[in-house]
Copies of this chain bind each other. A is one copy, B any other.
Amino acid sequence: MPSDTNHFEVKPHRGLTEQTYVAVLEALEHNRPRLGPLIGDLHPADVADLLERLPRDKRGEVLQAIPFEHLGEVVAELEEGVKENVLQLLGPEEVRVAISELESDDAADLAQSVEDAGDATGPDAEDLLTDRQQKHLLEYPADVAGGLMQLEVVTALPTQTVGEVLEYLRDGEDYLPNNPGTIFVVNSHRKLLGTVSLNRLVKAPFTIALQEMMRREPLTIADDAPQNEAVTIFEKYDIHNLAVVNKRFELLGRITIDDVLDVVLAENHRQQARAAGLMEGSDLFAPVTQTMRHRLPWLVVNLGTAILAASVIALFENSIAKLTTLAVLMPIVASMGGNATTQTQTVIIRGLALGQITPQNAWALFRKEFLSGGYIGTVLALTMALGCWLLYGNRMLALVIALATLANHFIAAFGGWVTPLVLKRFNYDPAVATSVITTTFTDVGGFFAFLGLATLLLL
Asked if A368 is at the interface of the complex by the 8 Å CB criterion, the answer is yes
Within A408-459, the residues touching B (CB, 8 Å) are: 443
A-B contact pairs, 16 of them (CB 8 A): A2-B157, A8-B158, A10-B193, A11-B217, A49-B355, A170-B202, A170-B205, A180-B203, A273-B350, A278-B343, A288-B371, A295-B372, A303-B384, A306-B335, A309-B331, A327-B327
The answer to whether A235 touches B257 (Cβ under 8 A) is: no
Q: Complex: how many Å from CA A327 to CA B406?
A: 23
**Inside 8 A of A382's CB, which chain B residues have their CB?**
none
Q: How large is the interface on A (under 10, 10 to 19, 20 to 34, 35 or more residues)?
A: 35 or more
Q: Complex: how many Å from CA A298 to CA B237?
A: 35
The answer to whether A198 touches B192 (Cβ under 8 A) is: no
In the complex, identify which listed stretch (A111-119, A136-144, A373-381) lies at the interface while the others stay far away.
A373-381
Q: Complex: how many Å from CA A358 to CA B18?
A: 9
**Inside 8 A of A330's CB, which chain B residues have their CB?**
327
Copies in the complex: 2
The answer to whether B220 touches A199 (Cβ under 8 A) is: no
9 A-B pairs besides A257-B257, A295-B372 with CB distance below 8 A are A13-B219, A55-B364, A276-B342, A278-B347, A280-B347, A303-B383, A317-B324, A317-B328, A331-B331
Q: Complex: how many Å from CA A408 to CA B365?
A: 39
Asked if A6 is at the interface of the complex by the 8 Å CB criterion, the answer is yes
Within A279-323, the residues touching B (CB, 8 Å) are: 280, 282, 284-285, 288, 291-292, 295-296, 298-300, 302-303, 306-307, 309-311, 313-314, 317-318, 320-321
The answer to whether B368 touches A291 (Cβ under 8 A) is: yes
3 A-B pairs with least C-beta separation: A327-B327, A1-B188, A276-B346
The answer to whether B288 touches A346 (Cβ under 8 A) is: no
**Inside 8 A of A49's CB, which chain B residues have their CB?**
236, 355-356
Asked if A102 is at the interface of the complex by the 8 Å CB criterion, the answer is no
The answer to whether A302 touches B336 (Cβ under 8 A) is: yes
Contact with B along A365-403 (1 / 0, CB 8 A): 100100110011001100110010000000000000000
Within A237-288, the residues touching B (CB, 8 Å) are: 237-240, 245, 249, 257-258, 260-262, 264-265, 268-269, 272-273, 275-278, 280, 282, 284-285, 288
The answer to whether B339 touches A299 (Cβ under 8 A) is: yes
